[in-house]
Amino acid sequence: MVRAGSGVSTVNADEIIRYALWTTAVFNLGGALLFAFPDSLGGIAGFPGHVPRVYSSLLALFVILFGGAYAWLARQPSINRPFVAFAAIGKAGAFAVVLACFLAGDVPLLSVAAISGDLVFALVFAWWLFR
């Protein structure tokens, strides 16, 4: 949104959150693929392979369900603040889990880098909530 006569271009916060929700929906789709195929695609992100299929499949399902929820929310006339808070906590939590696993020596730094987008989304969601 550009304010007439202000000479300054401003962007509406709701436009930013909608863009972030759409982007994280796509990010989650990619993440779901990494978790669904841990022996091949998951290796790209440094995630451990050779896990029981039930675990990788359920994790991929949950990640894609959240991605669908982000896309659904982006399409709503008004953004549900509690859901954005839930998303911020979930994104920050996912990053924290992988970081803790890295610090424990269970995953490589590449895994932290691969999930760092979740930290960025958590910060954008928190910014939108507290602006």
**pLDDT value at position 2?**
44
**pLDDT value at position 8?**
47
**pLDDT value at position 11?**
74
120 falls within a domain = yes
97 falls within a domain = yes
**pLDDT value at position 49?**
85
Contact present, 91 and 70 (Cβ < 8 Å): no
62 falls within a domain = yes
Contacting residues for 51 by C-beta, under 8 A, at least 6 apart: 38
4 falls within a domain = no
Average pLDDT per 10 consecutive residues for the chain, totaling 131 residues? 49 92 97 94 88 94 97 96 97 98 96 96 97 91
Render the burial of 9-33: b for 16+ CB within 10 Å, e for the rest: eeeeeeeebbebbebbbebbebbbb
2 falls within a domain = no
Q: What is the DSSP letter of 47?
A: -
3 falls within a domain = no
Looking at the structure of the chain, the number of domains it has is: 1
Domain region containing 52: 13-130
**pLDDT value at position 7?**
47
